[in-house]
Amino acid sequence: MEKKIIDKNSEILFVYDAKLCNPNGDPDEENRPRMDWEKEINLVSDLRVKRYIRDYLDEQGIPIYVRKIEGKSVKPEEVIKNAGEDIDELDTFIDIRLFGATIPIKKETRTYIGPVQFNWGYSLNRVELLEASITSHFASRENNQQGAIGKDYRVKYSFIAFSGIVSAKRANITRLTEDDINLFDRAMKESIPLQATRSKIGQYPRLYMRVEYQDDKTFLGDLRDYIKLVEIVEKPRKIEDVQLDITDLVEFLQKNKDVISKIYYFKHPQLCLVCGGNVVDFRDAFSAFELVEV
């Protein structure tokens, strides 16, 4: 059966929190968490989220173009060669169909702009950093039996929101299918906890919404503009210390109901949603729409 190519635009709202970890280190700042110091908010690059998704799909046994081979960084030509001679890169690599890529094949270079793109994420709360010294048990130099001492930087608590799009016109070029986007939805729900490392453990997806439109022309804008974080306690440190106010988001989407096809979603049970001053269930708040849980 022929796979169906995506023919409708979508916009994405993705929210996760980070507790006592480093969501996205900045190599130019001693790997400190990325910050907008003027607003005291935590920043996370779009590439960090794409890496989570790629690594998740790779672990599922799905061929990935932007990857290492046997733990080593390699040239793109080696990835292509490793996948087999005379491959169709779009048929072979799901991350090219999702995010695009520049691909050198023989003497030709092909460039695809991916249909799935994210803006940089930012925290909805002011974030404080924790700085600690760490000591290695291994000698720092040949004649020095002392362990090496370094710095460990983490956020105390960060409630991070991302915005993204799925472009149907670009999906037609990269041949992004409905099966692909279903895998992508699942990756958005599952990838971050499954990719936990020493610096990344403590992050959990709290809300994911992919608002699918009726056509390949509609985009309504950054859905983060319509949500607010309510801090139940000063300087929150855990999910129970906050609520997410979706009053404006519900109203905005209802005003544009005629252009919306479906809402694909995941909502973590610990996240408390507020609408119109009342605690609400996600399905009740968006009952005017066809909802698909991922």
- Summarised one tens digit per residue, pLDDT across range 97-116 is 999 999 887 678 889 999 99
Report pLDDT for 140: 58
Residues 6 or more apart whose CB falls under 8 angstroms from that of 71 comprise none
Look at residue 1 and tell me if it is in a domain: no
SS3 217: coil
Token pair, residue 48, equals 């960090």
Q: Are strands 242-245 and 273-275 parallel, antiparallel or unpaired?
A: parallel
Q: Lowest-pLDDT range, 6-20, 87-101, 133-147, 204-218? A: 133-147
User: Which structural domain range is residue 131 located in?
Assistant: 10-293
Report pLDDT for 80: 79
Look at residue 176 and tell me if it is in a domain: yes
Look at residue 153 and tell me if it is in a domain: yes
- pLDDT category of residue 68 using cuts at 50, 70 and 90: confident
Report pLDDT for 93: 96
Look at residue 89 and tell me if it is in a domain: yes
Per-residue pLDDT at 138 exceeds 60: no
Look at residue 120 and tell me if it is in a domain: yes
Per-residue pLDDT at 134 exceeds 70: no
Report pLDDT for 67: 86
Q: What is the count of structural domains for the chain?
A: 1
Residues 6 or more apart whose CB falls under 8 angstroms from that of 245 comprise 227, 228, 229, 230, 274, 275
Look at residue 186 and tell me if it is in a domain: yes
Average pLDDT value over all residues in the chain: 93
